[in-house]
Amino acid sequence: MEYRIQDLIDIGLFQELLDRLNDAFCLTTAIVDNESNVITASGWQDVCMKFHRANKDSEFICKKSDRYITEHLQEADPFVIYKCLHGLVDAATPIIVEGKHLANFFIGQAFLEKPDIDFFKKQAEKYGYDEEKFLEAVSKVPVISEEELQNRLGFIRSMTEILAKMGHERLKQIELLNELQKKNRELSNSVEQSIYALSKASEIRDRYTAGHQKRVRQLACAIASDMGLAPETINNISLGALVHDIGKIYIPSDILNKPGQITDLEYELIKEHPKHGYDIVKDINLPWQIPVMIYQHHERLDGSGYPEGIKGDGIIIESRILSVAEVVEAMSSHRPYRPNLGIDAALNEIRAGRGTKFDSEVVDACVGLFTEKGFAFTE
Ligand SMILES: [Fe+2]
């Protein structure tokens, strides 16, 4: 896993924290990555920013000190303390997470003993600084002991590494989550592939059923989407609709394709197809709604449907949508045993059953699709 310090720590928040530390303890800090980019900077002294680094000649000396520290940080254990050629003390420690050296933490711009004012007067003269302002800036640099400097550095180092480790854990969790989502996508692809394979099987045997299932899927998904159902529900409806009549492979094809009236016995056989369909798909690793909607697609709200005569709330929304789409498609297309009855007859059929056999909201959405929204079968 490749990561930078910025990937582990929220730099904006960390900068805020370091600013607070500077307000409370006069702690000048900076994080510089391995490419010398300054990631955070807090409380840098005017003597450095407004004088030493603001003048080309004196800045050269600053950079020399920076290089010294960076070079010695490679083997620093646990830190480097260095008095720069301008007389200020800097200290730095590497930030190491899971054995990776990510950046360096600098603190400093302090004196370890009371500054020698003559030394700084000479500096002002050498680089042409305004002496009064320069000495005022020098007077603001804190004087701390070496032990204090080490303590501060140790504290900052621990805090940074703890935060970075927490960030690292979070990154690992995100990676795991991504992996899990990828596996889920693969699984749902294989679920869809099983459904397509089943639909292909029914297509080979019975082209009427195959075309019917595809058109029912188109209408059922349009109804579900018009009703504002969740994308997962629409996807389940799409898959379930595509194989809702798969149980018909148990019915002899001369009964299915018989022109004219079928006998009562033949009708009883046909009425078994939702059960057969359910049995075929129930052991596939599918969302539970898919086998249930296959089982229930001929059920009616008033209990007049088959195979169970389930009523009202026992019929899930996916099945309610599928049953309306099923009736409309079946009536409006050609069948071996009767001619096409037309879409108007189909819509009248579901209007007649609105609120009794069929769910009112589903009927309204379906009628609206045909009469107001220009829906047409394209399969
Ligand atoms: Fe059916």
* Count helices and strands in the chain by DSSP H and E runs: 16, 5
Predicted pLDDT of residue 260: 78
Q: Using the mean position of ligand 1's atoms as its centre, give its distance from the Cα of residue 375 in Å.
A: 22
Q: Using the mean position of ligand 1's atoms as its centre, give its distance from the Cα of residue 274 in Å.
A: 6
SS3 104: strand
Is 229 or 196 the better-scoring residue by pLDDT?
A: 229
Q: Using the mean position of ligand 1's atoms as its centre, give its distance from the Cα of residue 295 in Å.
A: 9
Q: Using the mean position of ligand 1's atoms as its centre, give its distance from the Cα of residue 326 in Å.
A: 7
Q: Using the mean position of ligand 1's atoms as its centre, give its distance from the Cα of residue 246 in Å.
A: 8
For tokens 């854990």, name the residue.
Answer: 169
Element (H, E) at 89: strand 89-97
Share of the chain above pLDDT 70, in %: 97
What is the mean predicted confidence (pLDDT) over 353-379? 94
Q: Of the CATH numbers 1.10.357.10, 3.20.20.450, 1.10.3720.10, 1.10.3210.10, which one belongs to the domain with range 206-371? A: 1.10.3210.10
Q: Using the mean position of ligand 1's atoms as its centre, give its distance from the Cα of residue 318 in Å.
A: 14
Check residue 143 and report its DSSP letter.
Answer: B
SS3 146: helix
Q: Using the mean position of ligand 1's atoms as its centre, give its distance from the Cα of residue 145 in Å.
A: 87
Predicted pLDDT of residue 91: 85
112 token code pair: 């370890």
Q: Using the mean position of ligand 1's atoms as its centre, give its distance from the Cα of residue 315 in Å.
A: 15
Place 314 in a pLDDT band, splitting at 50, 70 and 90: very high
What is the mean predicted confidence (pLDDT) over 179-187? 87
Predicted pLDDT of residue 320: 97
Q: Using the mean position of ligand 1's atoms as its centre, give its distance from the Cα of residue 245 in Å.
A: 5
Q: Using the mean position of ligand 1's atoms as its centre, give its distance from the Cα of residue 212 in Å.
A: 10
Is 1 or 153 the better-scoring residue by pLDDT?
A: 153
**pLDDT tens track for 51-105:** 988 888 888 888 888 788 877 776 656 788 888 888 888 888 888 888 888 888 8
Q: Using the mean position of ligand 1's atoms as its centre, give its distance from the Cα of residue 279 in Å.
A: 14
Q: Using the mean position of ligand 1's atoms as its centre, give its distance from the Cα of residue 377 in Å.
A: 18
What is the mean predicted confidence (pLDDT) over 302-329? 95
341, pLDDT greater than 90: no
Q: Using the mean position of ligand 1's atoms as its centre, give its distance from the Cα of residue 311 in Å.
A: 18
Is 23 or 68 the better-scoring residue by pLDDT?
A: 23
Long-range contacts of the stretch 210-215 (C-beta < 8 A, 24+):
211/333, 211/379, 212/245, 212/329, 212/330, 212/333, 213/241, 213/242, 213/243, 213/244, 213/245, 214/242, 214/379, 215/329, 215/333, 215/377, 215/379
Q: Using the mean position of ligand 1's atoms as its centre, give its distance from the Cα of residue 157 in Å.
A: 70
Is 37 or 287 the better-scoring residue by pLDDT?
A: 287
> What is the domain class of 5-176 according to CATH?
alpha beta
36 token code pair: 């010398």
Contact 141, 104 (CB under 8 A): no
Predicted pLDDT of residue 27: 84
Pick from 31, 19, 18, 150: nearest CA to 101: 31
Please state, rounded to an integer, the average pLDDT across all residues of the chain: 88
Q: Using the mean position of ligand 1's atoms as its centre, give its distance from the Cα of residue 48 in Å.
A: 83
C-alpha span between 116 and 108 (Å, rounded): 18
Q: Which of 193-202, 293-302, 347-356 has the lowest mean pLDDT?
A: 193-202
Q: Using the mean position of ligand 1's atoms as its centre, give its distance from the Cα of residue 345 in Å.
A: 19
CA torsion 276-278-283-288 (nearest 10°) is 180
**pLDDT tens track for 206-256:** 767 778 888 999 999 999 999 999 999 999 999 999 999 999 888 888 887
Q: Using the mean position of ligand 1's atoms as its centre, give its distance from the Cα of residue 368 in Å.
A: 24
Q: Using the mean position of ligand 1's atoms as its centre, give its distance from the Cα of residue 366 in Å.
A: 18
What is the mean predicted confidence (pLDDT) over 334-346? 75
What is the mean predicted confidence (pLDDT) over 298-309? 95
C-alpha span between 169 and 175 (Å, rounded): 10
- What residue spans define the domains of the chain? 5-176, 206-371
